[in-house]
Amino acid sequence: MTGTKLTSTGHAVANAPWLDNHFQSARAGYEDCLRSVGIMEGWTVLDAGCGGGNFLPLICELVGSDGAVIAIDLAPENVARVETLCRERVLRRVQTHVASVMSLPFDNATFDCVWSANVVQYLTEPEFDCAVAEFKRVLKPGGILAIKEHDTTIGHLLPMDPGTMARLVSARRSKSNVLGPWCGSSMPSRLRKAGLAEVTRRGWLVERWAPMAPYTRALFADGIRYFAGLAAKHDIPASDLQAWQDAARDPESLLNDPDCCLREFFVLTARRVVTREASSSQ
Over residues 199-224, the pLDDT tens digits come to 999 999 999 999 999 999 999 999 99
Over residues 238-253, the pLDDT tens digits come to 999 999 999 999 999 9
Give the phi and the psi of residue 2 in degrees, each rounded to 5. Answer: -90, 180
Radius of gyration (C-alpha) of the chain in whole angstroms: 19
pLDDT of residue 112: 97
Q: Which CATH superfamily, name and number, covers 3-153+177-207+262-276?
A: Vaccinia Virus protein VP39 (3.40.50.150)
- C-alpha span between 11 and 13 (Å, rounded): 7
Contact indicator for 208, 262 with CB cutoff of 8 Å: yes
The average pLDDT across 66-84 equals 96
The answer to whether residue 2 scores a pLDDT higher than 60 is: no
Contact indicator for 254, 159 with CB cutoff of 8 Å: yes
Residue 18: pLDDT band (50, 70, 90) is confident
List Cβ neighbours of 105 (8 Å cut-off, separation of 6 or more).
72, 97, 99
Global pTM reads 0.92
Residue 90: pLDDT band (50, 70, 90) is confident
Residue 106: pLDDT band (50, 70, 90) is very high
The mean predicted confidence, pLDDT, of the chain is: 92
The residues facing 156 across adjacent strands are 263
Residue 282: pLDDT band (50, 70, 90) is very low
In the chain, where are the structural domains located?
A: 3-153+177-207+262-276
For residue 46, give the DSSP letter: E
pLDDT of residue 16: 78
Percent of the chain past pLDDT 90, that is, above it, reads: 84
Question: Which H or E run contains 281?
Answer: helix 276-281
CB atoms < 10 A from the CB of 162, how many? 14
pLDDT of residue 104: 98
Over residues 23-40, the pLDDT tens digits come to 999 999 999 999 999 999
- C-alpha span between 231 and 165 (Å, rounded): 10
Contact indicator for 269, 187 with CB cutoff of 8 Å: yes
